[in-house]
Amino acid sequence: MKEKIFKYKYYIIIILVLMIISIVIFNTTKHTSQESTVQLEALTETEPVEEKVEEPQKIKFDIKGEVITPGVYEIEAGKRVSDAIEKSGGLTENADTTLINLSKNITDEMVIIIYNKNEIEKLRQELTTTKTVIEYIEKECSCPDTINDACTTPAQTDKTDNKTLDPNQKININTATKEELMLLSGIGESKAEAIIKYREENGAFQDINDLTKVSGIGESVLEKIKNNITI
């Protein structure tokens, strides 16, 4: 009888041990499985992609004349002449932007010249009438300087039939035709016609400096052509 009881106890102990081992193995497997799942999720989880923000392109311009702080500045591409003026501290009290295109896009290496009131008035006097000034702005050159990239329209140096004037060739301003006069640097059709009209109304030029008496021709134009004209 005792032997049977002992055997039962032995079996019970074995069964309990096996159960404990099974429980331990189950828990260990479950924990390992959970860890693997977490690791797999971490590996497969898509990392957020950072959007690369491109730096705006920078360009440089040179601004001169009637601004508070003239100089070379760097600015974002796509900005306007008005932004360039603001960048340089704004306009002086003597500034006149009549001939400046404030909405023009700034380009790299652009030269911007802001004229003063005296310069603009002098130009107006050279052109004699408001009507002539308007024609000058629209058809010829809207600025006294050809290097001013901020002008309302670019400076023109008209030529006829793409002909060029020999450096030693001289044009007689008293006898030249319109086409011949237009060979001179900076003399377009309207200026050539003005020269001929002046001759017809006032007679022959007595001095090449008298050319500045012609509407639309000032000292700057004469300086360009004086070596190629005669009377």
What are 190-229's pLDDT values in tens digits?
Answer: 888 889 988 998 888 898 888 888 877 878 788 888 888 8
Task: Note whether 124 and 68 are same-domain residues.
Answer: yes
Domain final position from 116, 139, 162:
139
Tell me if 21 is assigned to some domain: no
pLDDT at 213: 87
So what's the pLDDT on residue 193? 87
Whether 135 and 73 share a structural domain: yes
Residues 191 and 131 both lie in one domain: no
Range with the largest mean pLDDT of 6-20, 158-172, 201-215 = 201-215
Tell whether pTM > 0.75.
no
- Higher pLDDT, residue 51 or 212: 212
Q: Which two tokens stand for residue 33?
A: 């499985």
Measuring CA to CA, how many Å separate 218 from each of 124, 127, 201, 210?
A: 10, 8, 19, 10
More confident residue, 136 or 119: 119
Domain hosting 182: range is: 171-230
- Whether 179 is in a domain gets the answer yes
Instruction: Mark which of 91, 119, 139 sits at the end of a domain.
Output: 139
Residues 132 and 64 in one domain: yes
Evaluate whether residue 26 is within a structural domain: no
135: domain CATH number is 3.10.20
Cα–Cα separations (whole angstroms), residue 60 to 80, 102, 107, 108, 147:
12, 17, 8, 5, 16
Determine the average pLDDT of the residues in 142-156.
57
Q: Which of 90, 122, 139 is the last residue of a domain?
A: 139
Q: Which two tokens stand for residue 200?
A: 């017809």
Sign of the CA dihedral 30, 31, 35, 36?
Answer: negative
pLDDT confidence tier of residue 94, bands split at 50, 70 and 90: very high
In a domain, 157, yes or no: no
The DSSP code sequence of the chain is -HHHHHHHHHHHHHHHHHHHHHHHHHHHHHHHHHHHHHHHHHHHSPPPPPPP-PPPPEEEEEEEESBSS-EEEEEETT-BHHHHHHHTT-B-TTEE-TTB-TTPBP-TTEEEEEEEHHHHHHHHHHH-SHHHHHHHHHHS-SSS-TT-TTBSS------STT----TT--EETTT--HHHHTTSTT--HHHHHHHHHHHHHH-S-SSGGGGGGSTT--HHHHHHHGGGEE-
Assess if residue 202 is contained within a domain: yes
In a domain, 11, yes or no: no
More confident residue, 156 or 198: 198
> Please, which residues bridge with residue 58 across strands?
76
Give pLDDT, residue 137.
43
Higher model confidence: residue 187 or residue 37?
Answer: 187
Say if residue 140's pLDDT is above 70: no
**Domain annotation covers residue 51:** no
Contact 40, 62 (CB under 8 A): no
Number of domains in the chain: 2
pLDDT (tens digit, 9 = 90+) per residue, 60-72?
999 988 999 999 9
State the pLDDT at residue 84.
94
Task: Evaluate whether residue 125 is within a structural domain.
Answer: yes
Same domain, 69 and 122: yes
Judge if 62 and 130 occupy the same domain: yes
Q: How many CA atoms lie within 13 A of 98 on its CB side?
A: 20
Looking at residue 46, what is its pLDDT? 57
